[in-house]
Structure 1
Amino acid sequence: WKQKHNIDHHTYTNIEGMDHDIDIKFMRVHEDQPKHWYHKFQHLYWVLLYGISYIAWILYQDFEKYFSGRMAKAGKAHKMALKEHFIFWSTKLGYIFVYLILPVIMVGWVETLIGFVIVGVVCGFSISVVFQLAHVVEGTQFPEPNNTTSKIEQEWAVHQINTTANFATKNKVISWFLGGLNFQVEHHLFPGISHIHYPQINKLVKETCLEFNVAYLEHRTMTKAFVSHILHIKKLGSRTVSI
């Protein structure tokens, strides 16, 4: 999580090959990703993919990254220290014991499987929707690095604002449930500051963006952000020639 999210996602937000969050199998979330025939249905089958995302994450993707040493397709291979190997395997075995083996012993394998799938789907769907509404909606950018320097020709803070969107920032219930993740712009700009300060920071960031003519994307409600996400992936599923 430290490498995948805290470093890669927060540094290379919405950059193809570096931000794992936009590398979703069977989904096309920006123009530079190849288009396949099935993408024209992605605005329908996203429900299934988001639902299984958590289970795929803990039972497949973590192992894929562990054995390849790469957090993202274009990322450098990361050599793990002995301590990291120990943490990986001990936590994985602990997870399997607590969430699968122990429940099977106590209530049976059928009940365990049903419960595990329900919890996994709810968790995956919730996490995916929140993350997608923050970065994969109409108006967010997906910058390409300079071919010569391999750098983004924007300041880091401007890049974060251009690739991120807020939603429902006036809704205190949603803010409480999401731990301030609906203030995604502020979360990216000030990840070390408690989310309880985001409403005040939000005003300052907006004023600064207005002063320096930087577009600030915010959807008034979560519903509007959700609709924007669906429209975005629907458009991307219908554009360009299929391969």
Structure 2
Amino acid sequence: MALPKFAAPRSFHADLKRRINEYFEQAGTASTGNFSLLSKAVLLALAFVGLYVHLVFFTPPTAWALLECVLFGGTIAAIGFNVMHDGAHGSFSQYKWLNNFAAFTLNVLGGSSYMWNAKHNLVHHTYTNIEGHDDDIDIRPFMRMTPDQPRHALHRFQHLYFWLLYCMLYISWIFVMDYQKYFSRKIGNMPLKKMALSDHLVFWGFKVFNLLLYVVVPIYMVGFLGWLAGFAVTTCFAGLVLSLVFQLAHTVEATAFPMPHETTNKLEDEWAIHQIKTTANFATENRLISWLVGGLNFQVEHHLFPKISHVHYPAISKILKQVCGEYGVAYNEYPKMRYAVASHVAFLRQMGRA
């Protein structure tokens, strides 16, 4: 399948970039992460190690252990949002080695940093919400996420059962989807870049390490049933949180799903306008949510400026809103997270009954 082509860039994106650059020049600060982000990363890493050690080697009573498993799943998601995500985009730090280290944490969490870079940075951030290209909106046959996907009878109830599927995201990611991409050599319909020997070694080395860390050692220490209960709670909560944050950004009532022209394969909008139309923010005034999800409630800013750390999104969002207003570009935003969740549910119901 040929890759879609965006319309030629106009003054909107150039003007926006100029104003954002002026902001950082006047503020006298780098666009990457700062000490507060580094401190958060250290805190999350300590929480990860502490919770794992306590659960596996000093297992508390059942009720308390299950509560810790919920916290452990939330910590896994938080590291992904705050550390890995910025690192993978090169925005965690001014130092390349520190960005690489932050991105590499995904391998410890169970995923593959190589597959993530191809799936997320290259495909999703370029062809957002374009059916047949954006792998993030392909949950077929279980769910219908765009108007251009085939509808099945099961989809009539997807706004009810999606919670269960979202809970399965993390476990299917580390045990199924990474392997599918590895052996098929494709991300959706796009071929995967040839992997170097070191990429193969890292992929398989950490997959074996993850099995030891999350399966073999816990079973040996707490027994099969204890491991199964803890593993299920941890991965389900992590999967639910990860799924919701990313789905609220692109699959709500306000977002668009453009398709290229049948003959020219061209899209109507330039890349920057396309990103704004296909993306939505939520709860941007809630500092706690922003802290926990690594600024990914500012998805519009992130998609336009992925190499700017999320710690700067609240500031640059004001500039972006002003520019959008001047150019007559709709800026999609839900003031509270529950409104975005309700819109996502309504969107799923609409896709299931369309």
Classify the TM-score, shorter chain: over 0.9
Q: How many residues were matched structurally?
A: 238
> Could you tell me how far 1:14 is from its partner in structure 2?
0.6
Contact 1:165–1:218 under 8 Å retained in 2: yes
Alignment of 1:125-136 (within 5 A): 125-136=240-251
Mean Cα deviation higher: 105-114 or 127-136: 105-114
Choose 1 or 2 for highest CA Rg.
2
> Could you tell me how far 1:145 is from its partner in structure 2?
1.9
- Give the partner amino acid of 1:52: M
Contact 1:17–1:75 under 8 Å retained in 2: no
> Could you tell me how far 1:53 is from its partner in structure 2?
1.0
What's the counterpart of residue 70 of structure 1? 186
Contact 1:40–1:238 under 8 Å retained in 2: yes
Cα deviations by residue, 1:144-192 (Å, 9 ceiling, x for unpaired): 1233343433211111101000000011111111110000000111111
SS of structure 1 residue aligned to 2:267: coil
- Give the partner amino acid of 1:117: A
- 1:7 paired with 2:116, answer no
- 1:80 paired with 2:195, answer yes
Q: Distance in 2 between matches of 1:153 and 1:90?
A: 44
What's the counterpart of residue 154 of structure 2? 38
Runs of 4+ in structure 1 over 4 Å off:
none
Cα deviations by residue, 1:61-91 (Å, 9 ceiling, x for unpaired): 111110000111x212432222211111011
What's the counterpart of residue 196 of structure 1? 311
Q: Distance in 1 between matches of 2:122 and 2:231?
A: 30
SS of structure 2 residue aligned to 1:11: coil
- Give the partner amino acid of 1:193: I
- Give the partner amino acid of 2:172: A
What's the counterpart of residue 61 of structure 1? 177
What's the counterpart of residue 180 of structure 1? 295
> Given the alignment, which residue of 132, 138, 149 partners 1:23?
138
What's the counterpart of residue 232 of structure 2? 117
Mean Cα deviation higher: 188-197 or 39-48: 188-197
> Could you tell me how far 1:24 is from its partner in structure 2?
1.0
Contact 2:283–2:335 under 8 Å retained in 1: yes
Q: Distance in 1 between matches of 2:351 and 2:335?
A: 24
CA RMSD of the aligned region, Å?
Answer: 1.1
Contact 2:118–2:192 under 8 Å retained in 1: no
Cα deviations by residue, 1:24-80 (Å, 9 ceiling, x for unpaired): 1311111100000000000111011001111111101111110000111x2124322
Q: Distance in 1 between matches of 2:234 and 2:299?
A: 25
TM value normalised by structure 2 = 0.66
SS of structure 2 residue aligned to 1:181: coil
What's the counterpart of residue 220 of structure 1? 335
Percent same amino acid at aligned positions?
Answer: 53
> Could you tell me how far 1:200 is from its partner in structure 2?
1.1
Q: Distance in 2 between matches of 1:90 and 1:154?
A: 43
Q: Distance in 2 between matches of 1:7 and 1:65?
A: 14
Unaligned runs of 5+ in 2: 1-115
Q: Distance in 2 between matches of 1:113 and 1:81?
A: 35
> Given the alignment, which residue of 141, 148, 155 partners 2:263?
148
Q: Distance in 1 between matches of 2:193 and 2:263?
A: 24
> Given the alignment, which residue of 345, 348, 351 partners 1:230?
345
Cα deviations by residue, 1:106-164 (Å, 9 ceiling, x for unpaired): 11111111111111100000000011111000020111123334343321111110100
Alpha carbons of structure 1 residues 77 and 147: separation in structure 2 relative to 1, 3 Å: farther
- Give the partner amino acid of 2:170: Y
Q: Distance in 2 between matches of 1:217 and 1:17?
A: 24
TM value normalised by structure 1 = 0.95
Unaligned runs of 5+ in 1: none
